[in-house]
């Protein structure tokens, strides 16, 4: 008979064990994300896929924050994070460190996510934007590529936390 696994059966890492594990070479960059709940969800996703970290930029909320904590469920303690007042500055630093910058946005130059094959020898910075305005167009010149999630519905709009989950899964499967 099928049953749910108990937490003890999931082989969860402690925060210290997680910090010591080899990470997948991906960081998530949040460009002026308004909702701390979305930020918490992104932390949880980064933890789940063992990504290197999260960059919180501009007005994006930073830990400690009760709304981040509510959705992160402790991932705000396990995942390394950095704050930058300017997304431009964060991306500039990541480029210097050898990251390929991918802006997740619907643009005239976007490659559909299902057609993008990550190079497993490359480091990636995935840039996600504000819930209303998306990624600031002033950052477009810094991007190595634009990735779009294929959609068929009438909205062609996903919550940033959902978008991050979809894109992160795609990259996680490439590195596994």
Residue 16 placed within a domain: no
Per-residue pLDDT of the chain (176 residues; tens, 9 = 90+): 999 999 999 999 999 999 999 999 999 999 999 999 999 999 999 999 999 999 999 999 999 999 999 999 999 999 999 999 999 999 999 999 999 999 999 999 999 999 999 999 999 999 999 999 999 999 999 999 999 999 999 999 999 999 999 999 999 999 98
Residue 118 placed within a domain: yes
| CA 16 to chain centroid | 21
Say if strands 99-104 and 111-112 run parallel, antiparallel, or are unpaired.
unpaired
Residue 121 placed within a domain: yes
76: enclosing H helix or E strand? helix 75-78
> Which domain covers residue 87, as residue numbers?
21-175
How many separate domains does the chain show? 1
Residue 35 placed within a domain: yes
CATH number at residue 108: 3.40.1280.10
């Amino acid at each position: 008979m099928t049953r749910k696994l108990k937490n003890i059966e999931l082989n969860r890492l402690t925060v210290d064990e997680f910090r010591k594990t080899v990470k997948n070479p991906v960081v998530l960059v949040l460009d002026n994300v308004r909702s701390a709940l979305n930020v918490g969800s992104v932390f949880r996703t980064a933890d789940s896929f063992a990504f290197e970290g999260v960059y919180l930029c501009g007005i994006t909320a930073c830990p400690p924050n009760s709304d981040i904590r509510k959705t992160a469920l402790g991932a705000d303690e396990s995942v390394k994070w950095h704050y930058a007042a300017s997304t431009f500055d964060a991306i500039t630093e990541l480029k210097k460190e050898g990251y390929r910058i991918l802006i997740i946005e619907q643009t005239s130059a976007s490659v559909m996510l299902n057609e993008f094959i990550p190079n497993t020898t490359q480091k990636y910075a995935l840039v996600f934007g504000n819930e209303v305005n998306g990624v600031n167009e002033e950052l477009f010149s810094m991007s190595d590529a634009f990735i779009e999630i294929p959609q068929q519905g009438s909205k062609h709009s996903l919550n940033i936390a959902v978008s991050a989950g979809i894109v992160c899964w795609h990259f996680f499967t490439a590195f596994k």
